[in-house]
Structure 1
Amino acid sequence: MVLDWLERVGEHWRAVVAAVLVHVILGGLLFFSLDFWHSDASQGNQGQTIVDASVLTGAAGSDAPTPKPDPTPKPAPEPDQNQNKLQPDDTQADEDPAQAQEQAAREKKAAREKAERQKAAEAKAAQQKAAQEKAAQQKAAQQKAAQQKAAQEKAAQQKAAQQKAAQEKAAQQKAAQQKAAQEKAAQEKAAQEKAVQEKAAQEKAAQEKAAQEKAAQEKAAQEKAAQEKAAQEKAAQEKAAQEKAAQEKAAQEKAAREKAAKEKAAREKAAREKAAQEKAAKEKAAREAAARADLQEALEQESAGRQKAADRKALAGYVQAIKDKVEGNWIRPPGASNISCQVHVTQLPGGQVTDVRLLGSCGGPAIDRSVRQAIYKSDPLPSPPSGNLFQSDIEFTFKPDQ
């Protein structure tokens, strides 16, 4: 049966190929038109496209099981606008990168979902095509079985007609023989009638045997055809059940993947928002701490500057007091004038002079001795206005004439 069907398809392969191409083109046009329409009209579903369409062609399409449409995915949750409005103004600039990342993630997700939908649509079209081809094969097998049955019935009718013609011919021959036998001899009549009766009995037995054999053959053929039909129906039911189970499993897996993806996206978004808030809080605290530190440093610098200026002024007065006391105790040698020299004095905290050094001659040995005597005579030296201004080593310029 299968070989005969393949030979019949081989004779008309051009028509079969043309029909398949027409169905594929129509299915593709319908798929892309529905995909374009749904992708523009489903903005409320966050860019998800739902395609629910099937292509039916002739009797083959009516026998194929209608695929179960995919469950409509739930729309993604809308972001909370009030929550975004409650964010501080100083975190707006920090949230822009997070929003850009979120937008990129949504676009990437939309592209991935679109590819999955296209793949699912292609798989659905392939399943429909396989179902149509299977239905066509089943129909061809049924037609072939009907043709074989009709051929068998026709052969049986021809055989019965031939047998009937043979019987009629034999009857005519028998009548002629009987007539000839009656004319030939009355004695042979009984023998001939006996022979005819025996022959008729044999022919009747042969006819009954042939009828029994024919009935047995027809019964066996009917039982075989019924068994083949039952096997085909059982195989078709098993295949349909397997396809339905596979489709349901794929739908469940797809729903689980979509749910996991949504949960993951929500967790990532919450983590990004939390990280942005923590970052903004840390940056704000750092800015406030830096501002406080800068203010404290400025205050300290200002206070230190004022203190240094006061110290320099007090130190200058302290050195001038020492200089004035030394010049007051100096006895000018004869002929000394325009004296100027650098003096280094070492003292104790109480003003006691421990050492005097002239860093240069003041004009002669006598003048140098008079300057040293004036410094030792000034012991103890004047005390500083505060303890922090005390210096054990003091240098000043000795100029008594100015």
Structure 2
Amino acid sequence: MFKRTLSPSLHVLLAGGLLVAAAVGTAGSANAATSTTADCRLSGATGATKTTPFTPTGITADDGRDDTAGLQSAIDRAGAAGGGVVKIPRGTFTLNGHLVLRTGVKLQGRGSATVLKAGPGFLSHTGPRGGYPVITTNGARDVTVTNLVADQSGDVLNGNVDGRLSEYLVDVRGSVNAVVDGVRTRNPFTYSIVAADSKNFCITRSTTRSATNGRYDQLDGIHVLNSSFGDVTGNDVDQRRGTDGDDGLVAHTMNGSVHDVRYVGNRVRGGNHGSAMQLAYTSSNDRIYNLTIQRNEFWGSPLSLRTGIYGTSGSASNIIVGGAPGQGNDFHDNGGNAIDFAGNLSSIKVTHNRLCRSGSVRVGAGSGNQTFSNTGC
């Protein structure tokens, strides 16, 4: 739920419910390949494509010393060369700064064996937009973050600082053709993975967790803000490991729009403060449209899939929740209604979903709205 006005921090959660299929891949696997065409079919995102390797120098795993300069230098060299792959070895690498990707660069780890961890000096500096990202794209094009763990250390640092909602743990910001694939986030004190003001993005086979207790609010999992032509596929989002978590998935407009986004094959549990998925409006001109929410599993959340209106209601249109037989979502063991849409609605189609211990379907009046063939346990 929205609690403050520090920055763009409203929540829009769309959810559906299918167990993540094995074919999607294992989030964070050291052997996970770059996202397949099927994972990123709407966005067409390929991320960085050049394969020239760039080896970071001046970094040492597991010694607790700041590795920011060595990693950033390798990123900068790859960017200056027109693109390439910065390969990070196994181990935990301490960051007292914030990694900023360059156009054409892939940042690649060794799965769960590679950890980028905020260090004791992480809060002494801010990122390009005044926040505290572990990694930010900051306007770069054709970028990939893959096969690594990003740990914001919110369990040991006091992340209740100005700007914590200005940039996010993994921050796809103002970018075109960005891929986040097989990334695990830990110990957030802000949103975990965000596409903000971006186009042609793909967030796939990644994992978010919120496990702190009584320290923070507004800990969303995967948050799409004023962005379009995206895929959110095959992710495992659990914001309820502790008491601080908020929405699992969010489609959020802030004087803008979210449109043409697929949410497919995710497994999502919203946190104590939020929903499994939310569509959030902040003004009457905001629009959320052309969304597909299919084969997701939304489970164990205080609220399930809903709209959130913060200020004046915007509009939602051409949204498919489920679809043809076999494309439905699995809603189980959630509070409230499984689906609860309000606002200015049109062409909302909620069909062939399974609702088990999750209330019913409620969709406000609107032209072309349809709800049918949604079944119980």
TM-score range, shorter chain: under 0.3
TM-score using structure 2 length: 0.15
- The higher relative CO (CA closer than 8 Å, separation ≥ 6) is in 2
Greater share of strand: 2
Greater share of helix: 1
TM-score using structure 1 length: 0.14
Which protein shows a greater Rg?
1
